[in-house]
Amino acid sequence: MSNDVHNSRRRRSTEQPTLKQVADAAGVSAITASRALNRPDQVNERTRARVLEAVERLGYVPNLVAGSLASARSRFIAVIVPSLANSVFIEVIQGLQETFEAQGYQILLGNTEYDLEREYQLIRTFLGWSCSALVTAGLRHNEACRTLLANCDKPIMEVMELGEALDLNVGLDHTEAGRCMARHLLERGHRQALFIGARLAGDYRAGMRYAGHREVFEQAGLAAPLLELERGGLDAGATGLERALAEHPGIGAIHFANDDLATGALLHAQRLGLEVPQKIAIAGFNGLPLGQHVTPRLTTIRSPRQAMGELAAMEVIRRLEGQRVLRRQHDVGFELLVGNST
Amino acid sequence: MSNDVHNSRRRRSTEQPTLKQVADAAGVSAITASRALNRPDQVNERTRARVLEAVERLGYVPNLVAGSLASARSRFIAVIVPSLANSVFIEVIQGLQETFEAQGYQILLGNTEYDLEREYQLIRTFLGWSCSALVTAGLRHNEACRTLLANCDKPIMEVMELGEALDLNVGLDHTEAGRCMARHLLERGHRQALFIGARLAGDYRAGMRYAGHREVFEQAGLAAPLLELERGGLDAGATGLERALAEHPGIGAIHFANDDLATGALLHAQRLGLEVPQKIAIAGFNGLPLGQHVTPRLTTIRSPRQAMGELAAMEVIRRLEGQRVLRRQHDVGFELLVGNST
DNA sequence: CGCTAACATGATAGCGCTAACATAGCGAAT
DNA sequence: ATTCGCTATGTTAGCGCTATCATGTTAGCG
């Protein structure tokens, strides 16, 4: 029953100095030291200097976990994408990351692998980290996700596409992009066009582009056949071309779901000695540098992916800082790049 | 002085249910509920079922921040790379991410933008999050970083290159890769080869490859000129080719620091009607799919980047789980891909 | 000279969870 | 019957920080 009882329970986690030790070294209270670091304008300039000196001398590293628990704010931003293998998401992440990092937010990156159940688990985990906001690629979520997101009272930003969003939304209209390219193909005189995509169940935005493409062709009284591949990438593009030639003999143009497929096909056409666009026209989507460097230059649609990430991050930050959000939805648009492949 | 004093201090952060509420609902103590979720084998099966039912019913989401503070462990892994724009790092991150995520670790991604001071700040922040381990791309750090890392008593994994590591190290020998390609060029009969890289101060691993290249050429009594560009990418490769032709008239081969540059040059050579490899031989580094799909196929060196990430993650996990680490250093090697461009 | 406002600092009490130790129950071994 | 060891659960006391309220101190005013 002596007063050293609670010494026996000691369990300092590390030997790192704590804020209390810094405060003692600077001759102030812990809360003043805390303010000196986090709200510099609330402490006297000379006090702050003493605290900073103590921080430096002791090699103090703030325990952000403790700070987050106490304040119930974490400066974490959850970012959830379906894949890291696709450079499209990487560019959006880059835009998000730069902007958030500059404002002192840390991204928590989650990869669903196109699995909505995994998305739910990731969101749970990220909410457990008291993230300040969530950014997801796309508008499709399962019921559980939707409930979780609707009840969590944090800014939710859905990027990539436009539509019925939960909260904030920055993206572009993929159906319209599909229409745009289809119209271009029609203008170029292609009456027989094939749309080729890969794993469209996952890449449903490509599916939306096909829907737009189909709409335009059918309104013109033309067929809009679809060919779905098992995989993406340059290789798959070559395969797609082979299959198109075999399965759709009369075809004059191929509208690929993305530039990787399209460029793979274009390079393969060269190897086969098939003239592009005379024998076969090829179009892509994304506006990757790759497609702009091959000969003939690829006709494609460029979307401002990095800018989309930046804008999304800025809107989230605006919301977090309590500023009024003017518009919940932003259309970042797209641009048709007419090359020599159509 | 009544006993409602501490009611006035209430500050529940959110309306989320807490573990205590789950425990009450299940008729057990908080610690039992905690164990039911985190150490299932330590509680009776029926008790656990009751707890899980309560979790489900209340929609409980564990507060990981509180858990980390209490246990001083966070399951965060800091991953620090110099850039996200370079697909090489993305692939390593992919390997790391998959492996860590599968074991329940969450990656904290930091981007130094090739700035060692930023690296120091990032490491401080990540240590503040009580990360379990740190993974950095590369062995170069400033003094402050080195001190911080040396004293933090967590597994440190340095990836990409091999050398004098702080702790664990998974990578490949870039100097040897440079030698390997140089020997290949010599075997092909190229006596006049130019090395072209971009921003070599940041991309010092490319500098190491140049050192290897130069060593081989100089030992053969030949010159090993260097041309440094301001930027990378396919465009820059084209620029590099132009400059090489103008500034080094006799040159017969160009050893590019990476495939982006090399492919950019190769495609540009086609536009110029310059035969590859007859008029000019072109070699790259990385083994990107891109270079393998152009005609002529690019001679390059492939490194197992995703596998490097996976192996690095596995070694870190092994260490974290207290298993004996057999080797602190792993050479993942590389592979010369001989195409038709040399 | 008192009164107020603005500024600077401090004491206290948590944030929600888990480590460490404590206890209870039960079958097996002594 | 006592002891031991094992499993299942509970009690207590923090982890390191910040929100909240309280207090002291100085300047400004009529």
Residues in contact with B270: Cβ distance below 8 Å, sequence separation at least 6, in sequence order? A295, B276
Task: Count Cβ–Cβ pairs < 8 Å, chain A vs chain B.
Answer: 114
Whether the per-residue pLDDT at A195 is higher than 80: the answer is yes
Residue A342 maps to a domain? no
What CATH number corresponds to the domain at position A321? 3.40.50.2300
Q: Which residues touch strand D (CB under 7 A)?
A: A 5-6, 9-14, 16, 18-20, 30-31, 34, 37-38, 62-63, 66-67, 69-71, 73; B 8-9, 11, 28-32, 35, 42-44, 47, 66, 69-70, 72
C-alpha A153 chain-centroid distance: 21
Cβ-based neighbours of B234, under 8 Å, separated by 6 or more: A289, A290, A292, A293, B260, B261, B263, B264, B267
Interface contact A271, partner B, CB < 8 A = yes
Sign of the alpha-carbon torsion through A271, A276, A280, A283:
positive
The answer on pLDDT for A336 being more than 50 is: yes
Q: Report the run of H or E that residue B301 belongs to, with start and end.
A: strand B300-302
Instruction: Write out the H or E segment, with its range, that includes residue A237.
Output: helix A233-247
Per-residue pLDDT, averaged over A75-83, amounts to 96
**Segments forming the whole domain that contains residue B262:** 174-302
Q: Give the Cα separation of A235 and A241 in Å (integer).
A: 10
pLDDT value, residue B255: 98
Instruction: List all nucleotides in chain C with at least one atom under 7 A from a protein Cβ.
Output: 7-21
Q: Could you read off the pLDDT of B87-123 as tens digits, one per residue?
A: 999 999 999 999 999 999 999 999 999 999 999 999 9
pLDDT higher than 90, residue B303: yes
CATH of the domain at A22: 1.10.260.40
For residue A336, tell me if it sits in a domain. Answer: no
Q: Is B127 on the interface with A (CB under 8 A)?
A: yes
Cα–Cα distances (Å) from A241 to A184, A226, A340, B290, in that order, read 20, 13, 18, 17
> Quick one: tokens of A61?
């590293």
The answer to whether residue B260 is domain-embedded is yes
pLDDT at A64: 96
Residues with CB under 7 A from strand C: A 8-9, 11, 27-32, 35, 42-44, 47, 66, 69-70, 72; B 5-6, 9-14, 16, 18-20, 30-31, 34, 37-38, 62-63, 66-67, 69-71, 73
Give the separation between CA A68 and CA A88, rounded to whole angstroms: 32
pLDDT at B13: 63
Q: Do B69 and A72 touch (CB under 8 A)?
A: no
Number of domains in chain B: 3
Residue among B338, B336, B341 at smallest CA distance from B177: B336
Shared-domain flag, residues B237 and B294: yes
Same domain, A102 and A211: no
**Does residue A13 sit in the same domain as residue A92?**
no
Q: What residue spans of B59-105 are helical by DSSP H? A: 64-71, 87-102
Subunit contact A68:B72, Cβ cutoff 8 A: no
- Claim to verify: residue A147 and residue A217 sit in the same structural domain: no
- B171-193: average pLDDT: 97
Instruction: Answer whether residue A97 is part of any domain.
Output: yes
Give the SS3 label for residue B107.
strand
Lateral strand order in the sheet of A281-283:
A226-229, A193-198, A253-256, A281-283
Do B126 and B242 share a domain, yes or no?
no
**Does position A3 have pLDDT exceeding 60, yes or no?**
no
* Domain stop point among B17, B42, B62: B62
Instruction: Please give the mean pLDDT across all residues of chain A.
Output: 93
What's the mean pLDDT in A273-292?
A: 95
The answer to whether B283 touches B299, Cβ cutoff 8 Å, is yes
| Best CA proximity match to B64, nearest among B77, B52, B55, B73 | B73
What pLDDT sits at residue B324?
76
**Cα–Cα distance, A260 to A278 (Å, whole number):** 21
CA-based angle A176:A179:A185, to the nearest 5?
A: 150
User: Cβ distance B279 to B264 under 8 Å?
Assistant: no
Distance separating alpha carbons of residues A257 and A254, to the nearest angstrom: 10
The tens digit of pLDDT for each residue in B243-269 reads 999 999 999 999 999 999 999 999 999
Distance CA A105, CA A316 (A): 11
Q: Tell whether B200 and B165 lie within a shared domain.
A: no
**Phi/psi at B164 (nearest 5 deg)?**
-70, 95
- Name the residue closest to the C1' of D20 by its CA: B9
B93 touches chain A (CB under 8 A): yes
DSSP A297: P
- Cis amide leading into A296 (omega within 30): yes
For residue A276, what are the contacts with CB-CB under 8 A and spacing of at least 6? A266, A269, A270, A282, A296, A341
With beta carbons less than 8 A apart as the criterion, state whether A311 and A330 touch: yes
Asked whether residue B43 falls in the same domain as residue B89, the answer is no
Residues 6+ apart with CB under 8 A from A150: A166
Mean of pLDDT values over B185-196? 97
Q: Are A229 and A236 in contact (CB under 8 A)?
A: yes
Q: Stretch A156-184: mean pLDDT, rounded? A: 97
Local confidence band at A304 (pLDDT 50, 70, 90 cut-offs): very high
Is A101 found in the same domain as A200? no
Q: Mean pLDDT throughout A190-205?
A: 96
Burial of B95 (0-12, 13-18, 19+ CB in 10 A): buried
Cross-strand bridge partners of residue A134: A78, A156
* CB-CB neighbors (< 8 A) of B143 in chain A: none
Question: Do A23 and A32 touch, CB atoms closer than 8 A?
Answer: yes
Instruction: Map residue A110 onto helix, strand or coil.
Output: strand
For residue A1, what pLDDT is reported?
31
My answer on whether A233 and A280 are in the same domain is yes
Q: What mean pLDDT comes out for the span B225-250?
A: 96
How close are the terminal C-alpha atoms of chain B, in Å? 88
User: Does residue A289 sit in the same domain as residue A188?
Assistant: yes
| A69, part of any domain | no
Within the 134-153 window of chain A, which residues sit less than 8 Å (CB to CB) from chain B? Answer: 148, 151, 153
Where residue B9 falls among pLDDT bands split at 50, 70, 90? low
pLDDT in the model for residue A12: 64
Packing angle of the helix pair A30-38, A19-26 (nearest 10 deg): 100
Evaluate whether residue A68 is within a structural domain. Answer: no
Quick: pLDDT tens for B50-82: 999 999 999 999 999 999 999 988 999 999 999
* Domain-located, residue A132: yes
Name the nearest CA neighbour of B164 among B324, B326, B328, B319.
B328
- Whether residue B247 is contained in a domain is answered as yes
Residue A194 sits in the same domain as residue A312? no
Residues B153 and B209 in one domain: no
Q: Has residue B274 got a pLDDT over 90?
A: yes
The pLDDT value given to residue B12: 64
Instruction: Please give the Cα distance from B65 to A160 (Å, whole number).
Output: 30
How do residues B119-145 score in pLDDT, each as one tens digit?
999 999 999 999 999 999 999 999 999
Residues in a beta bridge with B329: B169
